Amino acid sequence: MYLFIFPCVGKTELLQQIEDSGKVFRNELTDPIAPAAVDSIAAGVAKGVYFSQEKPISVSAQDAVYTKALEKMPVASFLSALDGRLAGLVVHRSSGQPGNEGVSVTLRGRVPIIVIDGIVRNLTVMDLEGIESVTVLKDAIAVAMLGVRGANGAVLVTTRKGHEGHQEITFNAQTSLQQPLSSLLSDPLRAYDYGVLYNEAQYNDDRFLLNPRNIAYTPEALDAYRTGADPSAFPDVNWRDELLRKRSRFDRYTFTASGGNEWARYFVSAEHFNQQGLFKTHDWNQYDTDTDYKSYSVRSNVDLRITSRLEGGISLLGRLLRTNNPGNNLTANIFSGILTTPNNAYPVFNPDGSFGGNRQYPNNLLAQSIHSGYSVNTKRDIMTDFYLKRNLDDVLPGLWIKARASFTSHVSENIVRNKSFAVFQRSVAPSGAESYTQFGTIGTQANSNNVDAQNRMDYQEFSVGYKRTFSRKHGLSLLALANRDNIVSGSNLPLTYKGISGHFAYDYDEKYLLEVGFGYNGSNWFPEKGDTRYAFLPSIGAGWVLSKERFARNLKGVDELKLRASYGLTGWDAAAYFAYVTRYGLGPNVNFGTAAGSLNTIREMAIGNPSIGYEKAAKLNIGIDTRLFSNQLSVSLDYYQDRHSGILMEKGLNTTILGQAYPLENIGKYDFSGGEAVVSWQKSFANSLSFFLTSNIAMQDSRVRYIAEVYQPHPWMERTGQRPGQLFGYTAEGLFLTDAEAMESPVMEGYSAQAGDIRYKDLNGDQVINQLDQSPIGLQRPAIHYGLTAGIEFHGIDFSFLVQGAGNRQLLLSGNSFYEFQNAGTGQAYTHHLDRWTPEHPEASYPRLSLGHNINNHVASTYWLKSGSYLRLRHAELGYSLPAAVSRSVKLESIRFFLSATNILTFKSKELGNADPELFSGQYPLQQLITLGAKIKL
């Protein structure tokens, strides 16, 4: 819960202030606010619903994005819609799989907490049109009331409320064609090239052996692969083409209704989301084997004025998410198989129609996809919020009290209908007779279901607030809050947060601003005795609106100039499950004598730490905000320094003699610092022309101040002073050109180098390459993330686009999607391996080829670091709204048609080849979408 401040003004002044604050044209073109809605907005302002700490009177560091921007994006998680829109917020994806994208965000280098309508919730898949705004809270004063849950910042989601006035009904329909972006750096080798390079790699590995192996691919076999004369015996299968569609469908339908009067206001929405996967299916199945994703959600927010001084409300959310997979959740296995299965491993089908395979490859990829059954994961969520608020103006003008309660339930259930299959290896005798060898068994369908997650949360809150303006100069606002948040996950003991928090704000003539906040809370996962269960975390902020000073009033073109700063102590609850208690668990079985049977032993698990406490972060933020040229241009600049201490970790100096895990301790210290800038320009003309442009850029740096690491014999091996998660590896100095050069140079310990291998720098000069020569690799400059949103509207035609990118970013290329012949020599190889080192091609970009893992070449080093910086046209949309006379002639308020494209164009380093810079290691790829839609208002 946060304190929301807005000066006491009349309706006309309020409307002007709304427009001045950037609500109308901030980030996206929006419909003008109707005068009839001003009463509702004024009521919302009084409750802190519509506006959260607007720039003119707040000292906190925050930024927001609104409904118009969010609803454009064809995504399931609202986090995916935030890419490039908010300074300091970075979106990460681990997959492009529908319903399982693994979307997460970092804010100023840390993972923020998600707060929905004032309550911390683990909910990201939402109806985007049901969101009023998403605000990032960055500094200490903004998150002060979160206490021990605020050190990493917060993403605050405010859902839409009803308004006084005529009923508004909208229907939004979108349908898209989607096609995958490439998640591979280059294409798999055709069977002939694979055989040629395999023979070469085998020769490289065997050339110094006394008894080299027989050649893997004879000239006759290579010629058969080249000609394709016998695809059954000499297959050449492009597994991606065999398993994956070129394109698939995406559909979203959303219905909303809102309205109300002086006594009741409502907002209702319903949404259906349907996204097809990439796997091909087969007509012989009566069930779906694709990675489809469907969701259904219904939201209702109702606010009631019960009496002239008592109001209340209820918010309901029901959600059903359904994710389909082939077999027993085999999607990840299939994509892994695509990476590791050569084109010539086996035919998809044998001549008799059976699935191809052999002893080495017993899991036919297509059979896994379409002939192993299916599995369905269903998630069901119910969320209910209630509140009552009593105006106590009869006791003291400006005083109010509020009680609030919430209950959330989540269930995740799996239904599995899987079956086994067999593959067959075809053999042809000299006589021409065919025979088939079976691997695996053909089984009947096995049915099972289980609940893999069952969580619930109940929340209670009581708050008291006071807000008055005295003598038209002195603005005062106070808030005190007590709450309890109880979370039960599966069979775990509850995690219960309790505490109080408060906020005080004062402004003199909206010129001098002061805010003070604190949180005093904690959870039952920390020791009950002692002083670590609860933490007191205060923050303070101050601002000076220079533009209101007499000496600045004549500054031409300056509408506002404000300086602000905040500093405070925040906390982060990162403790493991009751980590202060030493726990015991079952150990190995012990047999006694010769009798059958055994007894379980009990063993001591990780040692408890009774002094364990919360992580803390001292946050400093300094900012400047300005609005110029009749509020057409606005600029916000921020510098921050977050010093995190008490980070939980095990000491690196521990010994293993104890024989068990050491306790977590609050010993780590990390620093995060950086700068952010947001520039917006917006203008409207009398001839129905308006445009906007908003750009943001953030530079973020981080350093390890202390981690109690083990003694390092050389300074370049130390993790202290580096970035958290810093990559360490060898410094490459090109390739050995001759065997003699390799023998005379320092080489990898336990390895005999030869021509074509990577040469590494011997940092300690001992003529051996080993872990003592590993140092930080990669760029040491601050990471840069930026975004640009722009749009224009003229006589019903509108166009907008979003550009997003990252700089000072490097990727380490490795693994099955990049190295050759992995998995003990049975793995895939790619077209970039054609540019490998040979005596005839010494200037190659890739070292000599090997079979399986090469301990010299296939290790982390600067040789495999490539630029990951990119600039992406994330979204563009062209729309047309029919003239009002046309819409009204068919009894509609407005009709808008639009055509949009997502993930359209990417500028990146040529070193990445075909690969997408976000997902480049062969996983389920991101999608490029072309969307056609219509939005109708009744």
- What string of DSSP letters covers 89-128? EEEE-S---TT----EEEETTB--EEEETTEE----B--G
Q: Looking at residue 214, what DSSP letter applies?
A: P
Pairwise CA distance, residues 2 & 155, whole Å? 13
Helix 191-206 crosses helix 219-227 at what angle (to 10 degrees)?
A: 160
Three-class SS state of 309: coil
Pairwise CA distance, residues 254 & 74, whole Å? 12
9 to 43, 49, 398, 414, 549: CA distances (angstroms):
12, 17, 14, 55, 21
pTM, entire model: 0.89
Give the pLDDT confidence of 262-303 residue by residue, as tens digits: 999 999 999 999 999 999 999 889 999 999 999 999 999 999
193, containing H or E segment? helix 191-206
Q: What pLDDT is recorded for position 435?
A: 94
Pairwise CA distance, residues 336 & 323, whole Å? 20
Distance of CA 432 to the CA centre of its chain: 57
Mark the ranges of the chain whose per-residue pLDDT is less than 70. 1-56, 592-597
SS3 content of the chain, % helix, strand, coil (to 5): 15, 45, 40
Pairwise CA distance, residues 617 & 620, whole Å? 10
Helix 11-20 crosses helix 38-47 at what angle (to 10 degrees)?
A: 80
Give 469: exposed, middle or buried? Use CB within 10 Å, 0-12, 13-18, 19+.
middle
Residue type, 715: P
Helices (H), 724-771: 739-744
Q: What pLDDT is recorded for position 602?
A: 84
Cβ neighbours for 828, distance < 8 A, ≥ 6 positions apart: 188, 189, 339, 340, 341, 342, 816, 821, 822
Tokens 């943001």 belong to: 696
Nearest to 111 by CA among 119, 669, 103: 103
Q: What are the backbone dihedrals phi and psi of residue 94, each rounded to the nearest 5 degrees, phi first?
A: -105, -5
254, two tokens: 């959303």
Nearest to 461 by CA among 520, 519, 382, 387: 387
Tokens 């010769």 belong to: 594
Q: What pLDDT is recorded for position 596?
A: 58
CA angle 31, 36, 42 (to 5 degrees): 95
Q: What pLDDT is recorded for position 31?
A: 34
Give the pLDDT confidence of 244-264 residue by residue, as tens digits: 999 999 999 999 999 999 999
Residue type, 830: Y
Sign of CA dihedral 43, 47, 52, 53: positive
Give 421: exposed, middle or buried? Use CB within 10 Å, 0-12, 13-18, 19+.
buried
Residue type, 422: A
Q: Looking at residue 836, what DSSP letter applies?
A: B
User: Could you give the dihedral angle defined by the CA atoms of residues 747, 753, 757 and 760, in that order, rounded to the nearest 10 degrees?
Assistant: 0
Pairwise CA distance, residues 928 & 177, whole Å? 8
Cβ neighbours for 837, distance < 8 A, ≥ 6 positions apart: 735, 755, 756, 844, 846, 847, 848
Pairwise CA distance, residues 691 & 659, whole Å? 67
E-only strand ranges, 392-511: 399-418, 423-428, 434-439, 446-470, 474-489, 495-508
SS3 readout for 320-382: EEEEEEECCCCHHHHHHHHHHCCCCCCCCECCCCCEECCCCCCCCHHHHHHCCEEEEEEEEEE
Nearest to 538 by CA among 563, 492, 569: 569
Nearest to 9 by CA among 431, 469, 534: 469
Tokens 């980070």 belong to: 647
